[in-house]
């Protein structure tokens, strides 16, 4: 969940949503009901009626839950609060939209000297004069209270949010027709992207709705999105061929904030020759949390880089940046975002080339090199904390295949090295050609393709293997096989879920483990304990992707974000599928990054994934692969923060009044979401679970 600017206490098991904002007040004599927009919409009613608020009125609710009984009624009340049970309809952007409350002494009919408070700070704040200012991030109800030391009065405030876009110069008559009764059916007019039942997190760019042309070419389009107490309406004048509609980023952020944790319905209608068609429907799910960190990925033909490069996308930026160019490729990123490892096969010939390990903690482009090495850092497994050690990707042959692309001879067995390149002898990995190795996010395990240097039936066989790792002794042990592929296939590019329950891997054809030259791939998950394999059908897209069989069996190189957010793990992968009507060429021009939500609490053997979404910030004209959604380098005590995962010690605390959040030591007896934990009992909210050392939501049931 995004950090809300509210005070909190860790001394007891309560959530931040049940805490009070209190302010002393001297009221103005006028009673005013100020509303941001008193116009009607197609979804909201104007009913703002309510009975007289008294001290015996029931406690109100804050946001998505009740107020927890924070307000106890007094035996009697000479106070009256105005307006009664108002409804505030916010228009996006929401700045400047407030509502003024007044509190009257019913005996004198004069403004009373009272203290104002809210049952929850989730929806906004109330100041000393009774002026309520919404934060525009949530919808729902909150109880407003005015009180003296002898009596009080309460009323409920209901907040709706309405967002709209008008991007096409449609006439009012066209808008009215599009908002009116359903029109005719056009069976060949369909959604191409996003997929039905996709789960979206906060913190990404608004997805682009892409539609087929249908039999009747539209010229005017209406998009309506409905969530609890939220409505979006978008009017677009757009081409009826390869239609692409995208809501404004402000509207998208309002939707994902207000609708977080819920299912939303998306409806699209069109006008063709003044005849209405539709609506057609989609269902989306909005995760109640934001994806944290930076995306790092590999490209070989970026217009920005000019050739191969490590790229990054920070937050929801619409434009990537060149992290390291000059054909520095075949990269890995540590879970904490502190360290990168990559190869540059031109290092010995090109003075400008850089390869080896890189220090990312400064946040700059072209980060400093820690270990200069042209070959052996390719696809290395980086220890998740500070990249302290790395496992060298094994090379069982003299060229590729069986080596991974770019790695020539002579071959080498895997090694454990420090980030500055020093070999750590007798670690236990030296007897294996550990290809595409990866550490678990807590650093206790290593998964890899244990590859043979000898051919059998024309193939170099390998198994998906697992070993335990002791960071103190720097030793690997407890070798076990997770899964064995049939002849001619390779199980490669493993990735751990943050709870260490599953390893997700690529089941593919291609002895070099690559995504090119017709190599195919599908993604599976294997339970580390039971060894049960589960096919990730929802992620792989079989049966529902617009390109049909052209889009299937083309998913590769999974990685998983190091922490859960909004109740889900987030699995990034490379795919050569088409992207709606925007990328429809052959598979050699559609290699891009996609993300799928993954249910942490799915039953063993049940597909835990959901239909994937496209990463909008990547370059549209370059082939992109091997994306990592890593945390940003952690912040020291005293630095500004939104949540504990940003802080080196795991805690983000409120300081001052109004509070500002800064990294610091634990300030109480329990941990909020995204803060450090050792067990479920450490989390303030009993609904949270300690997963991967972080207090984490579970997905809604």
What residue ranges do the domains of the chain occupy?
Answer: 16-160, 167-289, 291-630, 644-696
Q: How far apart are CA 654 and CA 292, in angstroms?
A: 20
Strands 230-236 and 140-147, bridge-based pairing: unpaired
Q: How confident is the model at residue 462 (pLDDT cuts 50, 70, 90)?
A: very high
Q: What is the mean pLDDT of residues 534-550?
A: 96
Question: Which pLDDT belongs to residue 330?
Answer: 95
Q: Is the pLDDT of residue 45 over 90?
A: no
What's the CATH superfamily of 291-630?
Kelch-type beta propeller (2.120.10.80)
The C-alpha angle with vertex 325 and arms to 323 and 327, in degrees rounded to 5, equals: 135
Residue written as tokens 């096989």?
Answer: 481
Q: How confident is the model at residue 300 (pLDDT cuts 50, 70, 90)?
A: confident
Q: How far apart are CA 152 and CA 115, in angstroms?
A: 9
Question: Which pLDDT belongs to residue 688?
Answer: 93
Question: Which pLDDT belongs to residue 2?
Answer: 42
Q: How far apart are CA 435 and CA 513, in angstroms?
A: 9
CB 689 within 8 A of CB 36: no
Same fold yes or no, 16-160 and 291-630: no
Strands 230-236 and 198-202, bridge-based pairing: unpaired
CA proximity to 161, closest of 1, 43, 288 = 43
Please name the CATH architecture into which domain 16-160 falls. Answer: Sandwich (2.60)
Strands 152-166 and 230-236, bridge-based pairing: parallel
Q: How many helices (H) and strands (E) does the chain have?
A: 3, 48
Which of 77-81, 85-89, 403-407, 666-670 has the highest average model confidence (pLDDT)? 85-89
The tally of CA atoms less than 13 A away on the side-chain side of residue 84 is 11
Q: How confident is the model at residue 613 (pLDDT cuts 50, 70, 90)?
A: very high
CB 222 within 8 A of CB 268: yes
Q: What is the mean pLDDT of residues 406-429?
A: 94
CA proximity to 220, closest of 278, 168, 148, 259 = 168
Return the minimum-mean-pLDDT range out of 25-34, 224-233, 308-317, 428-437.
Answer: 25-34
Return the minimum-mean-pLDDT range out of 11-15, 122-126, 527-531.
Answer: 11-15
Q: What is the mean pLDDT of residues 324-345?
A: 95
Dihedral (CA of 210, 212, 213, 215) sign: negative
CB 607 within 8 A of CB 536: yes
CB 685 within 8 A of CB 673: yes
Question: Which pLDDT belongs to residue 348?
Answer: 80
Query: Which residues are CB-contacts of 80 (< 8 A; sequence separation ≥ 6)?
Result: 52, 53, 54, 103, 104, 106, 153
Look at 296 and 37; give whichever has higher pLDDT: 296
Q: What is the mean pLDDT of residues 143-172?
A: 95
Strands 198-202 and 275-290, bridge-based pairing: parallel
Q: How far apart are CA 514 and CA 405, in angstroms?
A: 7
Q: Is the pLDDT of residue 93 over 60?
A: yes
Question: Which pLDDT belongs to residue 556?
Answer: 98
CATH code of the domain made up of 167-289: 2.60.40.10
569: left (phi over 0), alpha (psi -120 to 50) or beta: beta
Cross-strand bridge partners of residue 447: 438, 466
CA proximity to 391, closest of 340, 422, 427, 437 = 437
Per-chain mean pLDDT for the chain:
88
Q: How confident is the model at residue 657 (pLDDT cuts 50, 70, 90)?
A: low
Q: What is the mean pLDDT of residues 588-614?
A: 96
178 sits in which H/E element: helix 172-179
């Amino acid at each position: 969940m995004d950090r809300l600017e509210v005070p909190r206490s860790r001394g007891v098991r309560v959530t931040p949503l049940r805490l009070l904002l209190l302010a002393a007040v001297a009221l103005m004599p006028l009673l005013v009901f100020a509303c941001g927009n008193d116009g009607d919409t197609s979804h909201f009613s104007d009913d703002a009626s309510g009975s007289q608020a008294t001290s015996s009125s029931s406690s109100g609710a804050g946001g998505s839950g009740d107020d927890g009984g924070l307000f106890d009624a007094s035996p009697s009340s000479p106070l009256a609060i105005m307006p009664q049970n108002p409804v505030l309809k916010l228009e996006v952007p929401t700045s400047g939209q407030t509502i003024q409350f007044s509190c009257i002494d019913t005996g004198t009919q004069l403004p009373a000297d009272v203290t104002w408070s809210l049952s929850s700070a989730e929806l906004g704040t109330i100041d000393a004069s009774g002026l309520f200012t919404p934060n525009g991030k949530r919808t729902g109800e909150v109880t407003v209270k005015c009180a003296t030391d002898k009596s009080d009065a309460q009323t409920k405030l209901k907040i709706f949010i309405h967002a709209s876009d008008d991007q096409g110069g449609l006439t009012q008559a066209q808008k009215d027709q599009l908002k009116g009764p359903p029109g005719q059916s056009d069976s060949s007019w369909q959604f191409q992207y996003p997929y039905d039942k996709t789960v979206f997190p906060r913190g990404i760019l608004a997805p682009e709705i892409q539609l087929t042309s249908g039999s009747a070419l539209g010229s005017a389009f209406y998009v309506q999105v409905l969530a609890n107490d939220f409505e979006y309406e978008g009017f677009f004048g757009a081409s009826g061929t390869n239609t692409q509609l995208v809501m404004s980023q402000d509207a998208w952020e309002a939707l994902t904030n207000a609708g977080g944790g819920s299912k939303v319905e998306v409806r699209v209608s069109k006008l063709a020759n003044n005849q209405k068609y539709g609506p057609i429907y989609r269902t989306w799910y909005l995760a109640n949390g934001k994806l944290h960190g930076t995306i790092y990925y590999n490209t070989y033909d970026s217009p920005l880089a000019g050739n191969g490069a490590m790229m990054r996308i920070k937050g929801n930026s619409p434009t990537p940046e060149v992290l390291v160019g000059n054909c520095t490729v075949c990269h890995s990123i540590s879970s904490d975002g502190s360290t990168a490892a990559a190869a540059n096969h031109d290092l010995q010939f090109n003075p400008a080339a850089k390869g080896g390990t890189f220090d990312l903690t400064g946040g700059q482009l072209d980060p400093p090199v820690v270990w200069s090495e042209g070959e052996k850092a390719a696809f290395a497994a980086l220890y998740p904390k500070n990249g302290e050690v790395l496992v060298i990707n094994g090379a069982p042959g003299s060229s590729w295949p069986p080596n991974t692309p770019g790695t020539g001879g002579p071959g080498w067995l895997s090694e454990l090295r420090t980030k500055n390149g020093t070999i750590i002898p007798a670690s236990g990995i030296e007897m294996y050609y550990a290809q595409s190795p990866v550490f678990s996010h807590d650093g206790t395990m290593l998964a890899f393709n244990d590859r043979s240097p000898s051919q059998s039936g024309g193939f170099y066989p390998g198994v998906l293997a697992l070993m335990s790792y002791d960071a103190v002794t720097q030793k690997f042990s407890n070798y076990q096989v997770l899964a064995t592929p049939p002849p001619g296939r390779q199980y490669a590019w493993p990735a751990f879920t943050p709870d260490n329950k599953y390893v997700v891997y690529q089941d593919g054809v291609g002895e070099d483990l690559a995504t090119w030259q017709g190599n195919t791939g599908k993604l599976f998950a294997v339970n580390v304990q039971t060894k049960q394999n589960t096919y990730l059908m929802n992620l792989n897209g079989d049966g529902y992707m617009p390109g049909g069989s052209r889009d299937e069996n083309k998913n590769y190189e999974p990685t998983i974000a190091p922490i859960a957010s909004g109740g889900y793990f987030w699995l990034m992968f490379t795919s050569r599928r088409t992207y709606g009507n925007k990328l429809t060429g052959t598979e050699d021009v559609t290699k891009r990054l996609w993300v799928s939500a993954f249910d942490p609490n799915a039953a063993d053997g049940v597909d835990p994934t959901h239909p994937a979404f496209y990463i909008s910030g990547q370059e549209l004209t370059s082939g992109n692969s091997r994306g990592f959604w890593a945390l940003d380098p952690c912040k020291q005590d005293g630095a500004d923060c939104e949540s504990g995962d940003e802080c080196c010690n795991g805690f983000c605390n409120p300081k001052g009044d109004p509070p500002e959040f800064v990294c610091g030591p634990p300030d109480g007896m329990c941990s909020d979401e995204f803060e450090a934990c050792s067990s479920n009992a450490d989390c303030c909210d009993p609904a949270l679970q300690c997963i991967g050392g972080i207090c984490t939501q579970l997905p809604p049931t």
